[in-house]
Amino acid sequence: MYKKILVPLALDHGISPQTLGAAQALLSEGGEITALHVYEIPRGTVSTYLREDAIEYGRDAAQKLLKQKTQDLEGVQSEVINGHAYRSIIEYADSGQFDCIVIGSHKPGVSDFLMGSTAAKVVRHAACAVHVHRTR
């Protein structure tokens, strides 16, 4: 179905196996999957209290966890980038010419209708197909 699938993963939500499984089911033979984690560096006042090595430690830990989640999956590449979640996902998908994004989402609450979750923003702004895997 799709030749290049991007799977953005929030490493602490616990649905990585399901979203990666959905991506594998949607993948054309010979296609590729990229598992992406966007590491958000703390902003504003918080960032002034963090040493550079603490930020680097957090990013390295995220990279290690992402590799653990994808190590047994054939044909899945992993990538950690710095940035703001939904904007970075959209930019990465556009620059890599992905034809599908598989993203996990929780059940929307009132705050999601007012502010929008990352998945909702990706759906609204993506230039490619988006498959949303919703948890129960």
Q: Which residues contact 23 (CB under 8 A, 6 or more apart)?
A: 5, 7, 33, 100, 102, 131
How far are the Cα atoms of 3, 6, 66, 110, 122 from residue 125, in angstroms, in the given order? Answer: 20, 15, 25, 21, 5
Say what the pLDDT of residue 36 is. 97
| pLDDT tens digits, one per residue of 117-131 | 899 999 999 999 999
Q: Which tens digit of pLDDT belongs to each residue from 64-112?
A: 999 999 999 988 999 999 999 999 999 999 999 999 999 998 766 666 5
